[in-house]
């Protein structure tokens, strides 16, 4: 405890700084090196500490919270294994540009490097997967470092920052002075796009006959959805979104072509292939989007708006880069375009593609399919839920069939593709968002990677709907084995080894449901959406061998798109 106004312990300073950063939740797990912090935390009433069951869960919760609210997610863990358990979550946040700050305990400064108990060089381990990291060596640097950490995590292209706190540093005493300003001469996140570039872009967009907006997660991160909607609606532009961009533009709007890329819609990919001007907004030309790089949007003049200069010309060389905050750039672009041009020919073509090959799945055989479940959830929640998916087939089906109305509503592990993301991330989202349903969707494989966090959800009585899409397979891997690996279903069949998910949910104190019939889906959904006092778990036993279509094989072009499973007869 602090003894006077001037003498503060590191632990006092730590929580005072979190208070000033307006931190509401800390996702953490105590341990030897952070005991001093937890001693102080015992009397802290201005923020809530959420005890997780595994430190990986804490990082995904912080991510879920950050993605749902736009605020910085905060993690507190101990040294050694506590810190190394956060690595996957930090890497995930780095790939998807999620603002989180991870505070890890560290052994006392004089023991660093001595192979002390629970020592790990976490700054070294996480260096390539953090936006920045700090080792605080003196309590006098603590306040400034925390301030810098939050500033770096949340500005520019957001990302994870790690702050390593040696045990003796948080226990030592110093005078506390809060730094009102942060001075980082090597870090000046560029906010406004270059005027001339914007004017030039506007001129080109004005004259486009077949323009297309390619929208990524950057639009959501910069809170630019209003600007995007205005820009697209007023000019009648077709919009396609990346996995992380879903929600930036309403999915049920006629101008939305849905997702593009490997599992994107046929018409979105055709539009990319045929457009004459491609406007990339806060997207990074990921290989899951481009397929074969040389054939990506081959006829298009490419305009690329991104806040991170390293994204420009990294995968695809563009014609006109604009480095800046996409929200500002969109507003400026919109003000330059006064008269919408006539795009009726282009729309006619797009609508032809839409009619020619809509999203399709088999509906008439009475079997339960994920696409149907997602459609029903979309319908029941009117596209307004926060959907937190895991990684695999269910993730792609959700991206295809849920009509996201709002930004920050589709929370998923995109870049890193972390199985086990959904359960903890949905918990983080549920702490941040109280007025909309929170739905976690996992496969039976990924669910088991972080299911311990059901305890965290149950203890905190969070009204999360945990939906398990159980096909008793690692479905996406199975799909690749069927399509590209000679049907060698190597270690993807979980039917013999899966637990009883209903009993599992009950063991954690959840209300549970299970079905394999499409007829019961509506009733179950109606019932679970009425439950507000705690989490529920629903197991949907779906068809085992379904595949996600369309699929453009890795590194291929749209000409190789597969829109449905080939009938063996057709193959002959």
Partner 1 sequence: MKHTITVLVENQFGAFNRVATMFSGKGFNIHSISIGETETPEVSRMTIVTEGDDKIMEQVVKQLNRLIDTIKVIDLTGQTRVERELALITVYYQKGTRAELISICDIFRGNVVDINNKTIMLEITGPPQKIDAVINVFEPFGIKEMARSGTVALKRGEQLNSEKNLVTQ
Active-site annotation, residues: 55, 117-118, 167, 476
Q: How far is CA 119 from CA 57, 76, 171, in A?
A: 21, 16, 18
Coil, strand or helix: which one is 116? coil
Are the CB atoms for 12 and 46 separated by under 8 Å? no
The 10 Å Cβ neighbour count of residue 128 is: 8
Beta bridge partners of 469: 443, 540
Are the CB atoms for 265 and 278 separated by under 8 Å? no
Q: CA torsion, points 256, 70, 377, 284, in degrees to nearest 10?
A: 40
Work out how close the CB of 181 gets to partner 1 at its nearest, in angstroms, rounded to a whole number. Answer: 16
DSSP assignment of 474-543 equals -HHHHHHHHHHSTT--TT-B-TTT---HHHHHHHTT-EEEEE--HHHHHHHHHHHHH--SS-EEEEEE--
CA distance 441 to 389: 5
Tell me the longest C-alpha to C-alpha distance in the chain.
85
In the complex, which residues of this chain contact partner 1 (CB under 8 A)? Answer: 123-124, 127-128, 131-133, 135, 137, 152, 184-187, 308-310, 312-314, 317
Q: What share of the chain is helix, strand, coil (3-state, %, to 5)?
A: 40, 15, 45
Closest CA to 475 of 360, 398, 405: 398
E-strand ranges in 252-312 read: 256-259, 277-281, 301-306
Give the count of alpha carbons within 13 A of 518, CB side only. 16
Q: What is the DSSP letter of 69?
A: H
Backbone angles phi, psi at 347, to 5 degrees: -65, -35
CA distance 231 to 430: 31
Judged by phi (left if over 0) then psi (alpha if -120 to 50, else beta), residue 457 lies in alpha
CA distance 435 to 424: 19
Give the β-pairing of 8-9 and 173-174.
antiparallel
Work out how close the CB of 153 gets to partner 1 at its nearest, in angstroms, rounded to a whole number. Answer: 11
CA distance 523 to 514: 12
Tell me how far the alpha carbon of residue 334 is from its chain's centroid.
Answer: 28
Q: Which is nearer to partner 1, 155 or 471 (CB)?
A: 155
The 10 Å Cβ neighbour count of residue 288 is: 17
């Amino acid at each position: 405890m602090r003894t006077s106004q001037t003498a503060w312990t590191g632990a006092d300073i730590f929580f005072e700084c979190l208070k000033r950063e307006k931190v509401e939740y800390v996702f953490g797990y105590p341990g030897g090196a952070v005991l001093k912090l937890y001693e102080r935390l015992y009397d802290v009433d201005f923020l809530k500490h959420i005890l997780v069951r595994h430190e990986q869960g804490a990082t995904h919760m912080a991510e879920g919270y950050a993605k749902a609210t736009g605020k910085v997610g905060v993690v507190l863990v101990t040294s050694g294994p506590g810190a190394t358990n956060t690595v996957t979550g930090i890497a995930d946040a780095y790939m998807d540009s999620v603002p989180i700050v991870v505070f890890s305990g560290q052994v006392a400064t004089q023991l660093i490097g001595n192979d002390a108990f629970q020592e790990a060089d976490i700054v070294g381990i996480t260096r390539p997967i953090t936006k920045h990291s700090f080792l605080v060596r003196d309590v006098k640097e603590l306040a400034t470092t925390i301030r810098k950490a939050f500033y770096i995590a949340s500005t520019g292209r957001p990302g994870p920052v790690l702050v390593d706190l040696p045990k003796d540093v948080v226990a030592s005493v110093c005078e506390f002075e809060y730094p009102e300003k942060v001075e980082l001469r090597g870090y000046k996140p560029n906010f406004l796009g270059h005027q001339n570039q914007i004017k030039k872009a506007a001129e080109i967009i004005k004259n486009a006959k077949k323009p297309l907006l390619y929208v990524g997660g950057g639009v959501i991160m910069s809170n630019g959805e209003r600007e995007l909607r205005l820009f697209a609606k007023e000019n009648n532009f077709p919009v396609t979104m990346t996995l992380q961009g879903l929600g930036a533009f309403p999915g049920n709007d006629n101008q939305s072509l849905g997702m593009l890329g490997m599992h994107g819609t046929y018409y979105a990919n055709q539009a990319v292939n045929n457009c004459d001007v491609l406007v990339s907004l806060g997207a990074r030309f990921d290989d899951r989007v481009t397929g074969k790089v040389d054939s990506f949007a081959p006829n298009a003049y490419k305009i690329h708006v991104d806040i991170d200069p390293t994204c420009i010309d990294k995968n695809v060389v563009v014609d006109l880069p604009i480095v800046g905050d996409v929200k500002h750039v969109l507003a400026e672009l919109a003000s330059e375009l006064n008269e919408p041009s006539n795009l009726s020919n282009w729309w006619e073509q797009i609508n032809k593609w839409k009619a020619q090959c809509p999203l399709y799945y088999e509906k008439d055989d009475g079997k339960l399919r994920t696409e149907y479940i997602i459609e029903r959830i979309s319908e029941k929640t009117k596209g307004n839920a926060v959907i937190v998916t895991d990684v695999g087939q269910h993730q792609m089906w959700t991206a295809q069939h849920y009509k996201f109305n709002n930004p920050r509503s589709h929370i998923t592990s995109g870049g890193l593709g972390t199985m086990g993301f959904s359960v903890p991330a949905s918990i983080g989202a549920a702490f941040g968002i109280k007025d909309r349903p929170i739905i976690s969707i996992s496969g039976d494989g990924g669910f088991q990677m972080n299911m311990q966090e059901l305890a965290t959800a149950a203890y905190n009585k969070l009204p999360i709907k945990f939906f398990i899409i159980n096909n008793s397979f690692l479905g996406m891997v199975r799909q690749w084995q069927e399509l590209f690996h000679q049907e060698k279903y190597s270690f993807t069949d979980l039917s013999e080894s899966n637990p009883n998910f209903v009993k599992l949910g009950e063991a954690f104190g959840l209300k549970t449901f299970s079905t394999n019939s499409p007829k019961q889906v509506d009733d179950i959904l109606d019932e679970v959406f009425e439950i507000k006092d705690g989490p529920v778990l629903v197991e949907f036993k779906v068809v085992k061998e379904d595949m996600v279509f369309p699929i453009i094989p890795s590194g291929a072009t749209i000409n190789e798109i597969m829109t449905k499973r080939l009938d063996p007869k057709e193959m002959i």
